[in-house]
Amino acid sequence: DAGVIQSPRHEVTEMGQEVTLRCKPISGHDYLFWYRQTMMRGLELLIYFNNNVPIDDSGMPEDRFSAKMPNASFSTLKIQPSEPRDSAVYFCASSRDPPGNTIYFGEGSWLTVV
């Protein structure tokens, strides 16, 4: 089975540019999570979806961030406009009904905003 697939793995962009991160969850998983990891704040949950519907977006830092899940096999996290403080590793994860079922993480998208 393929795991959670994220793209791009690495992105360097200039401040003010739009960034789109993509995620393909594991087939059959109906929960999808977006996490951000930084040295200062550790792992933070940004938003999660259940059956393609956003359930909790309280962790989204501000309006510059948006996430969509148009279908069960694809999700995007968009930052527009990007700022240097958005530099972080963004992880996508998926599971069947958590927390009783394991949440599986992708390898992350390493974003640098200069």
Q: By the criterion CB under 8 A, which residues form the site for other proteins?
A: 4, 31, 33, 42-43, 45, 48, 50, 55-56, 91, 93, 97-100, 102-108
| CB 100 to other proteins: min, Å | 6
Residue 10, number of CB atoms within 10 A of its CB: 11
Q: Which two tokens stand for residue 42?
A: 């550790």
Find how far residue 73's CA is from the centre of its chain.
14
Taking a C-beta distance cutoff of 8 angstroms, is the pair 43, 37 a contact? yes
Between 30 and 81, CB nearer to other proteins: 30
Question: The tokens of 67 are what?
Answer: 């996430």
Let me know: does 90 contact 44? Beta carbons within 8 Å. no
CB closer to other proteins out of 50 and 76: 50
CB closer to other proteins out of 51 and 80: 51
For residue 28, the minimal CB distance to other proteins (Å) is 16
Residues shown for the chain? 114
For other proteins, the closer CB: 20 or 50: 50
